[in-house]
Structure 1
Amino acid sequence: MTARRDSRRLVPEFLATAGRARPTRNTLDRLTVLYATGETVPDGLEPPERRLVEIALEAVVLAEAAAHLRLPVSIVRVLVSDLMDRGHLKMRAPVPAALQHEPQLLERVLSGLRAVR
């Protein structure tokens, strides 16, 4: 018989941010693209911060990083803003909806590519 893993965390999420609830930057959106500034993870980071930088070695969206960390987006925003303040992460704003391609156009292009084969 295997022991059932409790889905509750042993440490509350707010402790990952030392109890702070607000990021130092108000420009972080759920679709903000994050990427690490270096090629390796710097020493001296707390475990959630270390994991966040590891995830951001390849570009990642803030909401996706939160899912990987299994933390609420609000907590990850605080972690990201701290790491940005220390120079470990950079961000790129999400592409505005007005500049995104229309789904109908993309479907027509895909249909045309399939027809070429």
Structure 2
Amino acid sequence: MSRPGRDDTPDRLYTITGGRSRSDPTARFDLVTLVVAECAPASGMQSEHAAILRLCDRPTAVVEIAATLRLPVSITKVLLSDLFATGRVSARHPRAAALPDSRLLEQVLVGLRKL
């Protein structure tokens, strides 16, 4: 059963993506990829594309975009790959945390043992 005012039927999702179920493999979006709009929405643009551009005026994770638009992540990735292919958004993966220095950890361990 659908919520009032929300049409998330498979037919609607099919038309949003033009029948595509997978994003462009070269775009490589995952849940934590940060997306930033490179331009403002243009007139005549698909409403979902325009909503993404408005949402991404600052770095925004793919999962946040999907949640805000109330769309499945897979559909959101297809829309993002459209925008990425035309240069309207840029994407980057968050930096991986560096491993702590083993010497520092050893010093902490020695200090804890002295307590």
Calculate the TM-score normalised by the size of structure 1: 0.71
- How far residue 59 of structure 1 moved from its aligned partner, in angstroms, is 1.5
Q: Say whether residues 1:36 and 2:32 are aligned partners.
A: no
Answer with 1 or 2: which has the greater Rg.
2
Q: In structure 2, list runs of 5 or more residues that go unmatched.
A: 101-115
* Aligned residue type for 1:12: R
Alignment match, 1:5: 4
Match of 1:54 in 2: 54
Please list, as runs of the form range in 1=range in 2, the aligned pairs for 1:72-83 lying within 5 A after superposition.
72-83=72-83
For the structure 1 residues 63 and 6, does the alpha-carbon distance in structure 2 shift closer, same or farther, using more than 3 Å as the test?
same
Aligned length: 96
- CA spacing shift, 1:94–1:18, aligned 2, 3 Å: same
CA shift at 1:94, angstroms?
2.6
SS where residue 91 of structure 2 aligns?
Answer: strand
Cα deviation, 1:4-45, whole Å, max 9, x if unaligned, reads 82654366222210110111135111000000012x222331
Aligned letter for 1:70? R
How far residue 61 of structure 1 moved from its aligned partner, in angstroms, is 0.4
> Where do 4+ consecutive residues of structure 1 move more than 6 Å?
none
Cα offsets for 1:58-83 (capped at 9, x unmatched): 21100000001000000000000010
- The CA RMSD over aligned residues, in Å, is 2.3
**1:94 matched residue in structure 2:** 94
Q: What corresponds to 1:110 in structure 2?
A: none
1:106 aligned residue: none
2:110 corresponds to which residue? none
Instruction: Report the more deviating stretch, 22-31 or 85-94.
Output: 22-31
